[in-house]
């Protein structure tokens, strides 16, 4: 017999769970009841991760046995009072998970539930070592220096805060700091649903529990901020004893703090921005990678997407893409496609949101921005690209196909090697990658970038590159390409005083449609070459090229942040003389196009039977509508 009776949606009903008082080791007995969700309702909303769905333990609800995951059992056991009943809303119990219609409807209610909850309690899990208690204590000690946590989160650290944090970190043992960082690595932080659960919660009424120890939620956010500001120091203390330990989990806390959007003067997050920012979050059901963020999206009503657990992930992802185009007139969602896909039957142009983002995209939405960008929304500070100008998409989507209008920019003639990215040892990039010599001048950033520059300088079609950007503008074009022409604040860097226009001379070459694309004679893929340099050609060195302070007027920290753009990607030379950064799986002969309604140029690949989307790219001189001027569009079926 089911413990569930239908909810009265007309009365705005939800179910609540009373955990009956008992000693810690006593059997768990609960009562499930209906309540009208009104502002006066008193209950605690639980935020947790389900854990292993196979291994289960038994609790009693309304006299009947029910199996729950071990992690939920542990949470109930630790949160139960010995003296009085405690009332909770817990998704696994308060929603009939077997009733797909109810499940779909209740997902939309979670926004109201966590907003109206008297309190939200986070369950990180049991204590895993004796140092967990010390870590929870350290969080409270860090916040003793910041009486007003909300002020710190809104305005940032002042000098007094920095001194206090510095002192407390310096006094902490490597074991305590390691335990603190590991608290931020608990599975809870990577669960997709917790993003909206804690973003919508009453911040001063949210607490975090690890075993028997608790700390206010705001103190956890301040601790994450402190780790981010003194990351080098924290790493140094931990690595002195634990060389294999990574310090990275705190970033999840910072991203969640950003999602609160406490500054009402900034625009709210769109669903696409949220999907990109939290792509690496986990969900047992791939449909929840979308549904878990609906409560935070400011444009969810405009898009018109409602949860439906009777639809497949493929159907949901395609439907979302189509709705997004209709609602926004933008094709930018295509820039969120990552390969390989978990759902192989998805069209090449539809993002598979269940795929973890291993290689970040070029857009700001695809990357975590912390540190001095912690305040407010990082999206609001992003100076967007506008490759297609102010055009709106005219795409049509018959079935699983898509027809778009494009302008051909060029064909990839030469490709550099894939940038493998920075390792943990490379994070101090100014020293490790040799950007600055003893006199403070910079040299080649890395072997990859050095190879890319060599590829450009010895290219047989150098005259086309020089003609497009101007003799004096080529090196600046290369430098700006490496960072996507955006500094650490994701704003366009100021041009070097006295330099020529960054795009050089404008050319309106006759460019063929994709159907006529052919790799030019002598095309070369660095990954397939023997790696030998031409006689008389030496490694490129130019201190001016890699001097961010002098050439691009940005800080070293900004420059380091921007280098993430090249990770997993390749430097490309087009037959049109353009240079750019393209996806790592691009090949010579692929076409670069600007699609009407898309802010980024795209790489597409034509076979005998179809044209396939490869990925978004950066092409210097084609990011601000240049390709659309005086050009005719052609239709392409993807």
Q: Is the pLDDT of residue 6 over 90?
A: yes
- Write the DSSP string, 174-211: HHHHHHHHHHTTSGGGGBHHHHHHHHSS-GGGEEEEET
Q: Which residues contact 171 (CB under 8 A, 6 or more apart)?
A: none
pLDDT category at 491 given cuts 50, 70, 90 is low
Total residue length of the chain: 638
Least confident of 117-131, 236-250, 301-315, 563-577: 236-250
Q: Is the pLDDT of residue 404 over 90?
A: yes
pLDDT category at 157 given cuts 50, 70, 90 is confident
What mean pLDDT comes out for the span 176-204?
Answer: 92
- Write the DSSP string, 520-578: PTT-EEGGGS--PPPTT------TTTT-IIIII---HHHHHHHGGGGTTEEEEEETTS-
36-54 confidence digits (pLDDT tens): 999 999 999 999 999 898 9
What mean pLDDT comes out for the span 302-317?
Answer: 96
Average pLDDT along the chain = 82
Whole-number Å distance between alpha carbons of 229 and 250: 11
92-109 confidence digits (pLDDT tens): 999 999 999 999 999 989
What mean pLDDT comes out for the span 595-601?
Answer: 96
Q: Which single residue is written with the structure tokens 């929603």?
A: 95
Q: Which single residue is written with the structure tokens 């034509």?
A: 606
Separation in Å, CA 556 to CA 78, 425, 447: 47, 17, 19
225-235 confidence digits (pLDDT tens): 888 888 888 88
Q: Is the pLDDT of residue 447 over 90?
A: no
Q: Is 490 helix (H, G, I), strand (E, B) or coil?
A: coil
Q: Which residues contact 497 (CB under 8 A, 6 or more apart)?
A: none
Q: Is 316 helix (H, G, I), strand (E, B) or coil?
A: helix
Predicted pLDDT of residue 257 = 78
pTM: 0.84
Predicted pLDDT of residue 155 = 72
Q: Is the pLDDT of residue 515 over 70?
A: no
Structural tokens at position 129: 């070592």
Predicted pLDDT of residue 468 = 96
The alpha carbon dihedral of 435, 437, 442, 447 has a sign of negative
* CA within 13 Å, CB half, 328: 21
Predicted pLDDT of residue 442 = 30
């Amino acid at each position: 017999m089911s413990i569930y009776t239908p909810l009265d949606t007309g009365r705005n009903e939800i179910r609540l769970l009373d955990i009956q008082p008992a000693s810690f080791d006593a059997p768990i007995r609960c009562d499930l009841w209906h309540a009208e969700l009104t502002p006066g309702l008193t209950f605690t909303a639980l935020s947790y991760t389900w854990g292993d769905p196979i291994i289960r333990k038994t609790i009693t609800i309304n006299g009947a046995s029910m199996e729950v995951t071990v992690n939920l059992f542990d949470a109930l056991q630790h949160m139960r009072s010995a003296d009085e009943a405690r009332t909770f809303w817990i998704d696994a119990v308060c929603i009939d998970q077997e009733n797909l219609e109810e499940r779909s409807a209740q997902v939309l209610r979670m926004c109201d539930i966590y907003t109206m909850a008297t309190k939200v309690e986070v369950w990180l899990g049991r204590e895993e070592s004796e140092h967990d208690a010390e870590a929870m204590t350290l969080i409270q000690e860090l916040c003793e220096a910041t009486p007003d946590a909300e002020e710190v989160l809104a305005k940032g650290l002042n000098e007094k805060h920095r001194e206090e944090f510095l002192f407390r970190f310096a006094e902490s043992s490597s074991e305590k700091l390691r335990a603190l960082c590991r608290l931020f690595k608990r599975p809870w932080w990577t669960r997709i649903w917790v993003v909206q659960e804690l973003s919508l919660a009453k911040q001063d009424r949210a607490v975090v529990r690890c075993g028997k120890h608790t700390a206010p939620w705001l103190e956890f956010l301040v601790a994450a901020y402190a780790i981010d500001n003194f990351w080098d120091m924290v790493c140094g203390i931990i690595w002195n004893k634990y060389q294999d330990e990574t310090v990275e989990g705190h970033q999840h806390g910072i991203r969640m703090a950003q999602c609160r959007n406490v500054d009402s003067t900034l625009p709210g997050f769109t669903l696409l921005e949220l999907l990109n920012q939290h792509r690496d979050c986990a969900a047992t059901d791939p449909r929840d990678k979308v549904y878990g963020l609906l409560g935070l999206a400011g444009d969810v009503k405009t898009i018109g997407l409602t949860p439906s657990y009777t639809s497949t992930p493929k159907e949901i992802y395609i439907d979302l893409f189509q709705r997004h185009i209709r609602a926004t007139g933008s094709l930018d969602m295509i820039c969120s496609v990552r390969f390989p896909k978990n759902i192989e039957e998805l069209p090449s142009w539809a993002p598979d949101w269940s795929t973890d983002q291993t290689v970040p995209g070029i857009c700001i939405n695809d990357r975590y921005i912390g540190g001095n960008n912690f305040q407010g929304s990082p999206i609001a500070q992003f100076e967007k690209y506008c490759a297609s100008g102010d055009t709106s998409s005219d795409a049509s989507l018959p079935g699983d196909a898509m027809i778009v209008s494009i302008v051909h920019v060029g064909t990839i003639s030469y490709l550099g090697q894939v940038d493998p990215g920075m390792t943990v040892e490379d994070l101090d990039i100014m020293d490790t990658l040799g950007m600055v010599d003893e006199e403070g001048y910079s040299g080649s950033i890395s072997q990859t970038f050095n190879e890319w520059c060599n590829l450009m300088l010895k290219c047989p079609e150098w005259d086309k590159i020089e003609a497009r950007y101007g003799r004096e503008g080529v090196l600046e074009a290369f430098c700006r390409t490496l960072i996507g022409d955006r500094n650490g604040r994701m704003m366009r860097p100021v041009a070097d005083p006295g330099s020529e226009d960054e795009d050089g001379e404008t050319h309106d070459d006759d460019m063929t449609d994709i159907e006529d694309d052919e790799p030019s004679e002598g095309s070369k893929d660095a990954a397939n070459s023997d790696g030998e340099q031409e006689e008389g050609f030496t490694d490129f060195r130019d201190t001016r090229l890699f001097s961010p302070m002098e050439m691009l007027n940005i800080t070293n920290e900004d420059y380091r942040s921007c280098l993430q753009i090249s990770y997993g990607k390749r430097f490309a030379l087009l037959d049109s003389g353009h240079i750019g950064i393209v996806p790592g799986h691009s090949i010579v002969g692929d076409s670069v196009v600007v699609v009407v309604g898309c802010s980024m140029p795209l790489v597409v690949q034509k076979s005998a039977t179809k044209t396939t989307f490869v990925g978004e790219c950066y092409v210097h001189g084609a990011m601000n509508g240049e390709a659309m001027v005086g050009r005719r569009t052609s239709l392409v079926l993807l």
